[in-house]
Amino acid sequence: MSSFLPSIQGFLKGSAATAAGLSTVGVGLLLFGQNWLIYPSAFPPGSRTEVPVPAQFGLPYEDLELVTSDDVKIRCYLLLQRRDLDPVHHSEDTTREDADEEFASFRPTVIMFHGNGGNMGHRIPLAKVFYTKMRCNVLMVSYRGYGLSEGSPSEKGIRIDAQTALDYVMSNPTLGRTLIVLYGQSIGGAVSIDLASRNPSAIRALILENTFLSLPRLVPSALPALAPFAFLCHQKWDSASKVPTIPPSTPILMLSGARDEVVPRQHMLELWKLVKAREGQAESRGREAKEEEDEEEVQDVRTGAGSRFANFPQGTHNDTCVQQGYWMTVAEFVAGLGQAPARNDA
């Protein structure tokens, strides 16, 4: 037995050393490598260099290069509406251009903020639905460090990128007169919420798909091994604290995939409660009410202010946008926003 004790002691020491080592790795990963974890802009391979363009999908577009306030060049695609979408019949005479600009000024403008993987070119099929089916102007934004944009991604930097895109729309002679709708998937939803909270009078509506309460609150489910170190996450994207600051008159459409394997559905449900509370629609429940009962009830509900929660039972994190009824729900929401009134604000 005595000869066996050193082996046990050695095992315990080794286990302790391993645990300490893993803790060190976990702390180091969150402190110094979390941007790499949160913003995998090079995945899938080729995403930094191979960026599809709208012309490949038969869409007219302008390749924009915007310079941010901290002097970073980001790339965007602008799809401006035309009265006649058939390029064969689209002449370049001044009369036709004036008619197109007038038509575009009465259509909503959707600013698209994509998820944390891939690049904006991978989302062109989604932009095509907004452009051809709903006749929206579309501005697709490539965050810094993504696709062909300069710089490295971070919460601070992406917030600047989003503001730069909005400032461009607001200052554009045609787009500045339109209703502005933010469309964000996953982390793009957090970008949308943050931007709307900082520009309450500029945004007409938000469309959010499979987004989260905050990144620190997402760590335990997304990276269970790093759960004890979630407090070290300096990339916050704290949507839970910002939703209440968005005016009640700004309707929010929430699109939730019930089988989301990345962002637990509870995040969307909690955000929905905040949306309702912001509009004075919070429901009173007894203390004995169960959370699972709330989940069963929240399938497709609306508030009097025009916000809506739409559940897609088979939707996962990346395929909710192809679920049956998804685009019909989005189209109904956009159509319900009406047309833009005359605007004097710059």
pLDDT at residue number 13:
36
85: pLDDT confidence band, cut at 50, 70 and 90? confident
- Averaged pLDDT for residues 65-88: 92
Predicted confidence band of residue 298 (pLDDT cuts 50, 70, 90): confident
- The residue type of 213 is L
What's the rounded mean pLDDT across residues 146-160?
Answer: 98
pLDDT at 26 over 80: no
Domains, the chain: 19-278+298-335 (3.40.50.1820)
Q: What token pair was written down for 3?
A: 């000869």
Q: What is the model's pTM?
A: 0.86
The pLDDT value given to residue 167:
98
Catalytic residues: 186, 260, 317
Name the pLDDT band for 17 (thresholds 50, 70, 90): very low
